[in-house]
Amino acid sequence: MLFVALSADGRTVSLAGAERWEREGLMRLKRQEPFFCPACRQEVVLRSGRYRLPHFAHRKGAACPVEHEPESERHLTGKRDLFAWLIRQGMEAKLEPYLPAIKQRPDILFRHGPHLYALEYQCSTIDESLFRERNDGYRLLGIRPLWVLGAHHLRRSPKYSGEVQLSRFQWLFAHRAPHSVVPHIWYYSPETKRFIRLFRPLPLSVQRTFAAVDSIPLSSFSFPDWMAPCPLPLSPTFWERWLERKKQWRRTFPLYPNQTVRRICADFYQAGIVPSLFPTEAGWPVPRGYLWETAPFIWQTYVLLFLLGKTGRPATAVSLFQWLDDKIRTGRLVPRRLPLVGRDTYREAVGEYLHWLSLLGYLRREEGDQLHLVKPLSFPSTVDQMIHQDAALLEQIHQTSALSCYWSTLEFGRVEKMSRKQEKMNGMVNNNSCIDYLYKEE
């Protein structure tokens, strides 16, 4: 379904806002002449009704190269709302422009400052390969892709405050504001006319994560606000909930083993660790923990197993990453790859965890990037003892002054400026020649 089509003589006809037209006017336009899709040039039909927004639609059986999934009324309304939102801010914006160089049609193309943006409002689920293909196409033209999910995708936990469920599909939409290290996901609800911002995700598993979430009226929000780093705090009960999750990991992890869990448990047993009694020092949040799909207690225990195996012998970060890469190849560990976050990998999360261990006095890093475990890890003999140790370590964390800067990064979103080199790596280089698409006559 489209808001924009071509007339027989090549003029652009837009139905954005046409719901305010008189019905007779729409019928007159419908009878006046045929209309054509700007992408495939096949004839489209003007449709309108009492409960549906006026739009153009391909005839049954037509094959358009840029229509990959059906559009819903929610998508049409949201697309119209976001276009009007940009226009009200004085943006030079175009609705549904066809970009022949990449054979793509973003929902909205607009310019802000020197940069050109493609805004996509995604209501249906699409394959990751198609998502990446669209992003790559925009970046090829120097266009910055911006994605907004339909708010119906967001699932909050009815039981745990501050916990949400994010599918692998939703994780694809995680991106960072310029100069921020922490990702966020944007949603929009055309029913309530509000943006929903999910910020600072701290994953517990493949799909469950703690996050800060807020809701913002479209009418009181601007695009510069969108691009600014967000200092949303975590839930006041975050640490209490995190300890509850650690307790749940200890009591349920080995109970429902699939093949991967059996392999992980075998590795733990081989190292002399009962899976439910993984070290107290494992299973803690780090700012870039979202770069792992694997639960924090598992990948952090593997880091500790490597360091324990090197007791009395030199270990380096390079050898640690080689060891973790082997666990990834065998399916024991799974990194999360986020196409909009740049080139950060799971190694950034591991580096933060090593830094955390060093601040607590467990790890010493020496010249030549050597790693030495210099403080014994905690291995109580029962789950109840381990749960007590978890709470005690959290108390130590809060009372350790050297950790104040570290936790301020996690809790208050310390801003880190991205270098121009990193921006280029992220495919965010401006290309003024693409601005012509804003003025191109169809």
Residues 6 or more apart in contact with residue 330 via CB below 8 angstroms = 263
Mean pLDDT, rounded, for 152-160:
83
Contact present, 113 and 71 (Cβ < 8 Å):
no
Q: What is the pLDDT of residue 232?
A: 66
Contact present, 389 and 277 (Cβ < 8 Å):
no
Q: What is the pLDDT of residue 406?
A: 62
Buried b / exposed e over 354-367, threshold 16 CB at 10 Å, is bebbbbbebbeeee
Distances (CA, A) of 102 to 63, 135, 218, 248: 17, 11, 31, 48
Taking only the tens place, the pLDDT of each residue in 337-382 is: 999 988 889 999 999 999 999 989 999 988 778 898 999 998 888 9
Long-range contacts of 88-94 (CB under 8 A, 24+ apart): 89/222, 89/223, 91/223, 92/438, 93/438, 94/437, 94/438
Q: Mean pLDDT in the chain?
A: 83
Contact present, 441 and 12 (Cβ < 8 Å):
yes
Measured distance CA(276)–CA(222) in Å, rounded: 48
Q: What is the pLDDT of residue 33?
A: 77
Q: What is the chain's length?
A: 442
Contact present, 90 and 41 (Cβ < 8 Å):
no
- Per the rule left: phi > 0, alpha: psi between -120 and 50, beta: everything else, 279 is beta
Taking only the tens place, the pLDDT of each residue in 394-440 is: 988 888 777 766 665 554 444 333 333 333 333 333 333 333 433 34
Q: What is the pLDDT of residue 8?
A: 79
Q: What is the pLDDT of residue 42?
A: 84
Buried b / exposed e over 85-96, threshold 16 CB at 10 Å, is bbeeeebebbbb
